[in-house]
Every structure is written in structure tokens, then in C-alpha cells.
């Protein structure tokens, strides 16, 4: 799928102790489809933040653990502040296959659906 310049696609990653799997998850994100990746770290005890910064991911750190719901809210708020037209949430523990992002966003880009879950 060719990248469509009319849509800004941002991937958000709500992270907590994701150091072991973050790099694989990130490296499998199709560059041609995504404009920006944002990681929100929820006060991890491991080196998630250091790995994300080494990968040049935009990182926000919560001072205290806000839980999964609080982390998601921060992710979505940041994506909208960064001008996202389409937001894709990928968990950095590779629960979801990052390589499938083009297939997730195509129905939204084509106007078939407003949201994909």
C-alpha cells in the first residue's frame, strides 16, 4: 500500500515494562504507512524509556503509574495534539502484529469505516 499524504497516521504505544519486546514491535511498523510513533511510559521499572529514545520514538513519561486506561488517554490526547488523522494503538509487548497496520487503516482511509478496533 502506498502512503497517502492526505492522512497523518500516528501509532501510539501505551508502555509499562516493555523493554524486552519494544524494539521488535517498533521495527515491524511499516515506515511507508506511519508518520510518527509516540510511546507513553507508565512509570516502568525497566529500561523501556531508554530503548524508545534510542529508537528515536517520541516519548512521554508518566511520573506515576496511571494504569492502562490512564495511559491510553494520554496516548490519544498526544496523537490528536500532534495532528493525527488516524491513530493506531499498538501494545509494545507485541500482543498485536505491527505489520498489520496498513490493513487496519485502509478501511478508514477509504471511507468504509470511521473506526477499526
Q: From first to last of the 117 residues of the chain, give the pLDDT tens digit.
A: 344 568 999 999 999 999 999 999 999 999 999 999 999 999 999 999 999 999 999 999 999 999 999 999 999 999 999 999 999 999 999 998 999 999 999 999 999 999 888
SS3 105: helix
Give the Cα separation of 47 and 27 in Å (integer): 17
Chain CA centroid to CA 27, Å: 12
Please indicate, yes or no, if residue 1 is contained in any of the structural domains. Answer: no
What is the model's pTM? Answer: 0.92
Q: Which domain holds residue 55?
A: 9-108
Please indicate, yes or no, if residue 99 is contained in any of the structural domains. Answer: yes
Please indicate, yes or no, if residue 49 is contained in any of the structural domains. Answer: yes
Q: Cβ(60)–Cβ(41) under 8 Å?
A: yes
Give the Cα separation of 12 and 90 in Å (integer): 6
Amino acid at each position: 500500500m502506498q502512503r497517502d499524504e492526505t492522512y497523518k497516521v500516528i501509532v501510539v504505544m501505551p508502555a509499562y515494562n516493555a523493554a524486552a519486546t519494544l524494539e521488535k514491535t517498533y521495527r515491524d511498523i511499516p515506515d511507508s504507512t506511519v508518520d510518527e510513533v509516540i510511546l507513553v511510559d507508565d512509570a516502568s521499572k525497566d529500561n523501556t524509556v531508554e530503548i524508545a529514545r534510542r529508537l528515536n520514538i517520541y516519548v512521554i513519561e508518566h511520573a506515576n503509574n496511571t494504569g492502562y486506561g490512564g495511559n491510553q488517554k494520554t496516548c490519544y490526547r498526544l496523537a490528536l495534539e500532534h495532528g493525527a488523522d488516524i491513530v493506531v494503538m499498538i501494545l509494545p509487548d507485541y500482543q498485536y502484529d505491527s505489520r498489520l497496520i496498513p490493513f487496519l487503516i485502509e478501511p478508514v482511509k477509504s471511507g468504509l469505516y470511521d473506526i477499526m478496533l
